[in-house]
Amino acid sequence: MKFTFQNTTQLIFGAGTLSQLGEVACKHGKKALLVTGGGSIRRNGTFDRAIASLNAAGVSVAECSGVEPNPRLSTVVRGAEIARREGCDVVVALGGGSTMDAAKVMAAAFYYEGDPWDMMFHVEENRKAPDRALPVITVPTLAATGSEMNGGAVITDEKTTVKSFVISRCMYPQTAIVDPELTVSVPKEQTAFGICDLITHVTESYFNGVDGTPLQDRFAEGVILTAMDWGPKAVVDGNDLEARAQVQWASVVALNGWVQVGTNSPFPVHMIEHSLSAHHDIPHGAGLSIVNTAWMRFAARTRPARFAQFAERVFGLSLKHPEDADAAAEGIDRFEAFLRSIGCPARLSELGIGDGLLQQYAQDALLLAHDDKGRLPGRPAMSEAEIVEVLRSVL
Ligand code: NZQ
Ligand code: ZN
């Protein structure tokens, strides 16, 4: 194990912390670009409370509203233009992962006159990796992506239906204000998708990381067990603030880098899912629910011991021997049953996706990430045909 770790985001966590937004923002200047989604925060009063806090601290606001789920490149361009025109000093992202991702790229695009798509990770020729961004403050209203405390963002080019990502040190938010009260209005389905997303963030590194990371294994198992304990409570009763808080803390930890540190893990399930949500505009967590279990069944063939460990430690199954393939398979069945029990889908047909574009999804996933043999990085690395096989298994 050998690594460098740095996460520069200050985290302010707990019910009621939204009221601190103004005092946090005013350290960065007098004018904020307030980036918001499709309207949920106006309906539940969060928007007015955020504005009141900002104004009380002497921060005025230029708004970029209407960031869509699976945020579009044109929205990023629009937001960066508003920020430049209005002379904004700081970007405040108030919404789900889509809003936070769009806001981060707007903050970087503020300093880049070209097409923000040039910054995306998959761009091989003349990529313009961002090295400067306006300060960003994230205020998540949905527990899922962990975007509030990491340097990543996922954006869709609606013209080409490619959903790609950018990760940069300069896009780490300065501060994340994580107030679980803001999540009580998230509908059951979306709450469940968020739980699936956060769990998938740690299963990716658990199953695809390098060997010899026992502490990270325990971190990942802790996140999964916590999400499985508290997630169903948040789904059953959205007003259960304790459950909302535990789920949201798990979602922060799942992708702020700490669980993955030193694992060098690629994220193959995410690469495949991003291709699906690019083409069909499905919720990211719903797509993951289908792809992750299908991928697990595929990967367990080559690494039964790893999946047997998951079955033993997460589901309490007893192993006949360390490579017990039956126990490994049962662990995956139990995982799928858990996801089903909270309302996540298991088949592409449940999201209205047929077999027409299977090869296209595989090619798009490979566009996002590939090794020198043209395979999707992961354990095992996957050929185009294998990605198609995995997706076909869950039609
Ligand atoms: O837009 P509004 O009206 O706010 O409604 C949203 C949206 O319809 C709604 N919502 C959010 N907060 C709410 C609420 N509804 C009621 N009450 C609230 N408090 O939820 C819907 C989904 O919102 P979205 O932001 O799209 O969800 P999520 O947080 O799951 O973000 C998904 C996006 O993040 C990317 C995904 O690919 C996807 O584009 N990801 C970003 C990552 C990162 N930056 O680290 C990592 C993830 O793996 C993921 O890929
Ligand atoms: Zn995710």
Topology of domain 188-392, CATH: Dehydroquinate synthase-like, alpha domain (1.20.1090)
Find out whether the beta carbon of 96 lies less than 6 Å from any atom of ligand 1.
yes
pLDDT digits (tens, 9 = 90+) for 314-368: 999 999 999 999 999 999 999 999 999 999 999 999 999 999 999 999 999 999 9
Topology of domain 10-183, CATH: Rossmann fold (3.40.50)
Counting from 1 in the atom list of ligand 1, the atom nearest the Cα of 46 is 19
Residue 24: both structure tokens together: 């946090």
Among the bound ligands, the one closest to the CA of 179: 1
How do the domains of the chain map onto residue ranges?
10-183, 188-392
Distances (CA, A) of 35 to 65, 179, 275: 6, 17, 25
Q: Which residues contact 144 (CB under 8 A, 6 or more apart)?
A: 96, 97, 193, 194, 197, 198, 251, 284, 285
CA of 395 to the centre of ligand 1 (A): 25
CA of 71 to the centre of ligand 1 (A): 9
Residue 325: both structure tokens together: 């393939």
pLDDT above 90 covers a percentage of the chain that reads: 98
Q: Report the length, in residues, of the chain.
A: 395
The answer to whether residue 374 scores a pLDDT higher than 90 is: yes
The answer to whether residue 124 scores a pLDDT higher than 90 is: no
Find out whether the beta carbon of 244 lies less than 6 Å from any atom of ligand 1.
no
Find out whether the beta carbon of 182 lies less than 6 Å from any atom of ligand 1.
yes
The answer to whether residue 24 scores a pLDDT higher than 90 is: yes
CB 212 within 8 A of CB 2: no
Give residue 126's pLDDT. 86
Give residue 125's pLDDT. 83
pLDDT digits (tens, 9 = 90+) for 61-118: 999 999 999 999 999 999 999 999 999 999 999 999 999 999 999 999 999 989 999 9
Among the bound ligands, the one closest to the CA of 98: 1
Q: What is the pTM of this model?
A: 0.98
